[in-house]
Structures are given as C-alpha cells and as structure tokens.
Amino acid sequence: MTGKELSRLYHYDEWATSKLLEATEKVAPADLTKDLNTSFKSLLGTFVHIYGAQFVWLSRWKGSQPAAPITVEQVPDLAELKSRWQSLRGEFRDFLGSLTDEQLQKPFGYKDFKGNPWSELLYQQIQHLMFHSQYHRGQVVTLLRQLNQVPPQTDLIAYYRSGQ
C-alpha cells in the first residue's frame, strides 16, 4: 500500500468520524454517557476509544510509548473530545505526509500496554488502525439508533460519491 492510498484512507476516516460526531451533537448530554451495554459502555466511551487508539498508535510511530489507553475520565465530554481530535488529525496528516513508500514497507517495532514486543510493516499498522476505527464507528451507528437518532451514511462508497 502506498502513502497516497493510506492518506486517502485516512481522509475517509476523518470524513466518516466527523459525520458521526456531528450527528452525536443532537444527543442529549445525559445520553452521551448512558451505559448501553456495549464494549465501551456509552456513545462517548466508544468515541473516546476510537480517538484513544489513534492517539496511541500515532504516539508510537512518533517515538513515544503511552503507558495506558485514554479513558472517558480524561476526555469527559464531546467538546473536549472534538478539540483533542482536531489537534490529533493535523498531527496525523503531517505524519502520513512525511512517510515514503519505502518507510511504509519496513517493519516497525513497538510494545503493547502489557510490555509485549510486536513488529509489523508500518503500512499494516496504519491500515489496521483505519479498520479499527471503521469497526467501532459501526458500533456508534448502532448506539445512535438505540438513542432514537438517525445516523448519517458513512460507507466508503458514500465518501467516494460525495466527491471528497
């Protein structure tokens, strides 16, 4: 996978996540943290997990090793989440833009939160992160429906059709 292809995939990720965050602004504040019996309990918890994964992976690629995942207690509301995510997106775009196709094809080593060492090709790690976000955005769609909201269309083909 080339840097151009990964940048396109990341742009789609930004687009789809932004559409869901915008839809989430219509949710009552109490419903954002309501436990809906899902992996990360609430709508906000699920978004924080997506954001946190992007933060952790980007930190690793830039040479830091976060000790623990980001929690809802650290990002307690939608406004804080959107502010942090906006900053992270700029860093992510800059990082992707700095990579050569050769760098993407090389193994990148890191340690998980338990201290276990891992190494995969860098492009595979970035690709994993994009699909991780997509998976959890699907959960967000379900949670929005449980809260009687109509989620926006965020399929990849909708992104392509939007002319992005």
- Average pLDDT score over residue span 70-74: 96
Q: Phi and psi for 95 in degrees, rounded to 5? A: -60, -50
Query: Which pLDDT score, from 0 to 100, does residue 164 have?
Result: 83
Taking alpha carbons only, the member of 67, 70, 23, 19 closest to residue 49 is 70
CATH of the domain spanning 3-161, picked from 1.20.140.10, 1.20.120.450, 3.40.50.720, 3.50.50.60: 1.20.120.450
Verdict on whether the full-model pTM lies above 0.85: yes
Domain positions in the chain: 3-161
Model pLDDT for residues 1-52, shown as the tens digit of each residue: 999 999 999 999 999 999 999 999 999 999 999 999 999 999 999 999 999 9
Maximum CA extent, the chain: 48
Amino acid in the structure at residue 108: F
Model pLDDT for residues 25-35, shown as the tens digit of each residue: 999 999 999 99
**Upper half-sphere CA count for residue 117 (Cβ side, 13 Å):** 3
How many Cβ atoms sit within 10 Å of the Cβ of residue 72?
A: 20
